A and B are shown apart, each in its own frame.
Chain A
């Protein structure tokens, strides 16, 4: 903690890069815990149902989380930077609605994908503009756009439903790349690797951590804080657009209530994955593990015939617990390591 004031100054003292790596072990511990939980749920599920341990059931299971988890990857970066986006589920609704609308006019599959992803990107840019240019708190902005985006969907669709997507459009949500590996799962794993690299191996990722820990000092260090946050909102919108393509393709139809309440599950995934809800800390590995846990749990509860309402109670409770636990843990540790003189 405190430096010692030994005064044999003359020669500059050598400072090592790092001391051993107990820190690394500690950092990994949350991920290890998640892994253990995932294994436990997996084992429990295989006892709960004879149909669970089957390659196709396991493959089906991944559809429970891949779309949400794709958004969670970008959301993790956004939350680490100290912001949040509550409008992601509504972005999906708007993207899906525009795709449905275009499909009515005979737009082909490539066009539909472009419209879906493009709409997501624009929605993200809109959020980013309001937060970084007008300096509004992201929680307020995105609660607003959450209603706004879905509201537009309702205006366009009313009680109606868009169907009639081209057959080839079904591939994204229903196709398989190889054997039981779905396109969705393959895309998620590839995206996870990409996000891992982006957050943990690039200077862009480093800047995100710096901003999340202290955005003022980051700005005073010459970082373009606003620009980076804007990019993260765009990225979150883009991922929501991609999720909208997958989900619409899987369902084959669009209703305005599509993906209702997903923002909660996405954020739960991120926080369960060990990302500090206050920003500044977290990692992609944890988020990926958390995605699998959420998928396994939803699937397991489904096997036990637990109704959807109970599941949402479960998700809500989980969110509170995973936010509270690290904070309580930190408070306990701080009390022990109370600050020195």
Chain B
């Protein structure tokens, strides 16, 4: 096996192992776009290789080629130095490749045990499915992972996303996969769950599996990976060993420039109180929420997934009815009964589920932007396209939207650019308070920086911003004050000055004086 031939690849590490999987000269084009251009990649046994790149860099295409969903136009794939072809997802699975996705592609309606054994169910002598063996096997493999708390009979849909990932890993172990691809597995996980997942990845490593790990979060990449490969615009622009490479250098490779500061420091000069929430409560989701939001301030909401932060925001936006408490906006008590009421009052909400709740896919960019402002852009109910285009252009250009035209379907934009459209839509309404729910979840680093930059500009202009975020660096980098929530209640409100990450995480997790 001639390993590591390409010059810009990782220098042979001290422990010169042969790669498990080798890609050489892989290219893939779609009409109008070269998604992958002469890409090489090695995955080594017992190591985690991080695949890094902005959205649109070609990561997903590569994963789809590795899992047999796409066929490459050129290039070769070899396992243990022997060339292989993945004509179909089934073939790829037979060759020992398995993938765990952001939103796992397991089956909700069937049991954990069936999910683990799907496609390779043990049979009885009569050729019937051996249910006993399925349950027994599932229990064994789950226990071996320290996930004995998941009952094999449970239907998958009853599990949390973290536990679904565990089932995915169990499946990988049970089909004896040699290469495990993890495509943003932590996107929906809490801090603690991420820790558990990483313990499992260590197990897989120790077991000699090759792991390809895709994530947008640098702290995770550094925590778990041995190697990295950076993609940009369909090409591999760099690869190497991880702890030796500083983060700034990788970021530079990703964006083709140096991003000196990921979080723009804005000077907080908070003015008078805009929004005052007192004792806001919901029958099941949250209880006794009190906070004040001032003009020119970013108020962060931090907590674990399920702490009730989004639910509070949805009540402010009129999506759910609080059972008691008051919302005072600019000195006036309001009770928004619908998003339309909230928008009219001046509260707007950038939701977490961008594709489902944020943009209307199927409509062009300008129609998305003008949607809440139609009253203003139309005359006696008759559309005026010029006004709409002007409005859309004014705000999307301020946000540095990357699009070929305003009539482009918003669904053809990358996640980051879709988010810019959602924000543009709300700014066009001239709001008083803008609520951003996980504003940079799953978007590329370039768009992330643009969104953060823009938040800084918004508060500088006197807007009040609430930002719900589970990303520690983001909360700490952007907020003036941070409300910490746990299990539907406010734990504390912290001034974001000399605040330590440990203190914040401990408060959210309900740990006192202990390092999280």
Instruction: Please give the distance in Å from B387's CB to the nearest CB on chain A.
Output: 11
A340 on the B face (CB < 8 A):
yes
Q: Are B233 and A338 in contact, with the CB atoms below 8 A?
A: no
On chain B, the residues within 8 Å of A203 by CB distance are 374-375, 377-378, 381-383
On chain B, the residues within 8 Å of A4 by CB distance are 233, 402
Instruction: Select B372's contact among A7, A12, A221, A340, beta carbons within 8 Å.
Output: A221
Given contacts A210-B363, A218-B360, A219-B339, 12 further A-B pairs with CB under 8 A are A1-B33, A2-B56, A5-B446, A7-B256, A18-B407, A203-B381, A210-B371, A213-B362, A214-B362, A216-B356, A220-B339, A341-B234
A17 on the B face (CB < 8 A):
yes
Which A residue sits closest to B378, measured CB to CB?
A203
On chain A, the residues within 8 Å of B403 by CB distance are 3, 15
B15 on the A face (CB < 8 A):
no
B32 on the A face (CB < 8 A):
yes
On chain B, the residues within 8 Å of A7 by CB distance are 255-257, 446
Instruction: Please give the distance in Å from B287's CB to the nearest CB on chain A.
Output: 25
Given A12-B397, A15-B403, A19-B407: A3 touches B414 (CB 8 Å cut-off)? yes
Q: Are A13 and B362 in contact, with the CB atoms below 8 A?
A: no
> CA–CA, A203 to B340, complex, Å?
15
Contact with B along A206-222 (1 / 0, CB 8 A): 11011001101111111
Q: Are B343 and A214 in contact, with the CB atoms below 8 A?
A: no
A259 on the B face (CB < 8 A):
no
Instruction: Please give the distance in Å from A37's CB to the nearest CB on chain B.
Output: 27
Q: In residues 4-46 of chain A, which contact B (Cβ within 8 Å)?
A: 4-5, 7, 9, 12-19, 23
> CA–CA, A16 to B61, complex, Å?
29
Q: Which residues of B contact A (CB under 8 A)?
A: 30-33, 35-36, 54-62, 70, 232-234, 255-257, 319, 338-340, 342-344, 349, 351, 356-363, 366-367, 371-372, 374-375, 377-378, 381-383, 389, 393, 396-398, 400-407, 412-414, 417, 425, 429, 446
Q: Are A217 and B340 in contact, with the CB atoms below 8 A?
A: no
Instruction: Select B340's contact among A9, A16, A19, A224, beta carbons within 8 Å.
Output: A224
On chain A, the residues within 8 Å of B60 by CB distance are 340-341
Q: Are B406 and A16 in contact, with the CB atoms below 8 A?
A: yes
On chain A, the residues within 8 Å of B339 by CB distance are 219-222
Instruction: Select B61's contact among A13, A14, A223, A341, beta carbons within 8 Å.
Output: A341
Q: Are A3 and B417 in contact, with the CB atoms below 8 A?
A: yes
On chain B, the residues within 8 Å of A280 by CB distance are 362
On chain B, the residues within 8 Å of A220 by CB distance are 319, 339, 349, 351, 357-358
Instruction: Please give the distance in Å from A165's CB to the nearest CB on chain B.
Output: 38
Instruction: Select A12's contact among B356, B383, B398, B404, beta carbons within 8 Å.
Output: B398
Q: Are A9 and B400 in contact, with the CB atoms below 8 A?
A: yes
Interface centre among A203, A205, A207, A219 (most CB of B within 10 A): A203
Instruction: Please give the distance in Å from B423's CB to the nearest CB on chain A.
Output: 13
On chain A, the residues within 8 Å of B234 by CB distance are 341
Contact with B along A306-322 (1 / 0, CB 8 A): 00000000000000000
Q: Are A341 and B59 in contact, with the CB atoms below 8 A?
A: yes
What are the 8 tightest A-B residue pairs by CB atom distance, in nearest-first order? A3-B402, A222-B343, A213-B362, A18-B407, A203-B374, A341-B61, A2-B56, A341-B60
Provide a sorted-by-A list of 13 A–B residue pairs whose CB atoms are within 8 angstroms.
Answer: A1-B412, A9-B400, A15-B396, A17-B406, A23-B407, A202-B381, A206-B374, A207-B374, A220-B358, A221-B372, A222-B343, A222-B372, A341-B234
> CA–CA, A341 to B412, complex, Å?
11
> CA–CA, A18 to B388, complex, Å?
13
> CA–CA, A17 to B322, complex, Å?
42
Given A2-B414, A18-B406: A202 touches B378 (CB 8 Å cut-off)? yes
Instruction: Please give the distance in Å from A86's CB to the nearest CB on chain B.
Output: 25
Instruction: Please give the distance in Å from A341's CB to the nearest CB on chain B.
Output: 4
On chain A, the residues within 8 Å of B371 by CB distance are 206-207, 210, 218, 221-223
Q: Are A337 and B56 in contact, with the CB atoms below 8 A?
A: no
On chain A, the residues within 8 Å of B425 by CB distance are 221
Instruction: Select B357's contact among A202, A216, A341, beta carbons within 8 Å.
Output: A216
Q: Are A224 and B338 in contact, with the CB atoms below 8 A?
A: yes
On chain A, the residues within 8 Å of B367 by CB distance are 206, 209-210
On chain B, the residues within 8 Å of A207 by CB distance are 371, 374
Given A218-B371, A220-B339, A223-B371: A340 touches B351 (CB 8 Å cut-off)? no
On chain A, the residues within 8 Å of B351 by CB distance are 220
Given A203-B374, A340-B33, A340-B35: A15 touches B400 (CB 8 Å cut-off)? no
A51 on the B face (CB < 8 A):
no
On chain A, the residues within 8 Å of B374 by CB distance are 203, 206-207
Q: Are A14 and B361 in contact, with the CB atoms below 8 A?
A: no
Which B residue sits closest to A212, measured CB to CB?
B362
Given A2-B56, A5-B232, A5-B256: A19 touches B404 (CB 8 Å cut-off)? yes
Which B residue sits closest to A281, measured CB to CB?
B362
> CA–CA, A5 to B351, complex, Å?
25
Instruction: Select A5's contact among B233, B319, B398, B412, beta carbons within 8 Å.
Output: B233
On chain B, the residues within 8 Å of A9 by CB distance are 400
Q: Are B30 and A340 in contact, with the CB atoms below 8 A?
A: yes
Instruction: Please give the distance in Å from B348's CB to the nearest CB on chain A.
Output: 8
Q: Are B372 and A15 in contact, with the CB atoms below 8 A?
A: no
> CA–CA, A281 to B340, complex, Å?
24
